[in-house]
Structure 1
Amino acid sequence: MTEATKRGARLTGAERDELASTLSQGYSEGKSIRALAEESGRSYGFVHRILSESDVSLRSRGGATRGRAKTEG
């Protein structure tokens, strides 16, 4: 993020649209919502809401799966 906004500051209008665009771009490049939240100084919930409002197709949850047997090669 090029310009950090004051944490918790209310964003409206053009500022909110600009942040939504930046977050959408980062998410489409493969960054996680948590990574975007940390970079922007916003909460996970705020970033998730902005992406949802911007009609971004959110990826399903991922990460390591427990209990999956390792395949022998």
Structure 2
Amino acid sequence: MAASAGLSKGARITGESRESIRNEIRKQYESGASIRSLAESLGRSYGFVHKMLVESDVPLRGRGGANRRKRA
């Protein structure tokens, strides 16, 4: 999905187009794409993509990366 898919930055998305975008974001996220990579490819904010995933009831993954633990 590219930014040229009819999404201009900051444009309000409603109705069927919102549902379509939500489903596409959900599919890509469930296939392993990160929220940040989806936001970049769509030309939208991290918050927008996160909100679409929450609206679709997708279980969000943890942050990953190294855990910071105190040394014994």
Give the TM interval when normalised to the shorter protein: 0.7 to 0.9
1:60 to 37, 41, 62: 62
- Flag the structure with larger Rg: 1
1:66, distance to aligned residue in structure 2 (A): 4.5
CA distance in 1, matches of 2:14, 2:68: 42
% same residue? 52
Question: Normalising by structure 2, what TM-score?
Answer: 0.85
- CA root-mean-square deviation: 1.8
Is the counterpart of residue 10 in structure 1 residue 12 in structure 2? yes
- Flag structure 2 segments of 5+ consecutive residues without an equivalent: none
TM-score (norm 1): 0.84
- Please, which runs of 5 or more residues in structure 1 have no aligned partner? 68-73
Alignment partner, residue 47 of structure 1: 49
- Choose from 2, 27, 30 the match for 1:28: 30
Structure with the larger RCO, 1 or 2 (CA within 8 Å, 6+ apart): 2
Structure 1 residue runs of 4 or more that deviate by more than 4 Å after TM superposition: none
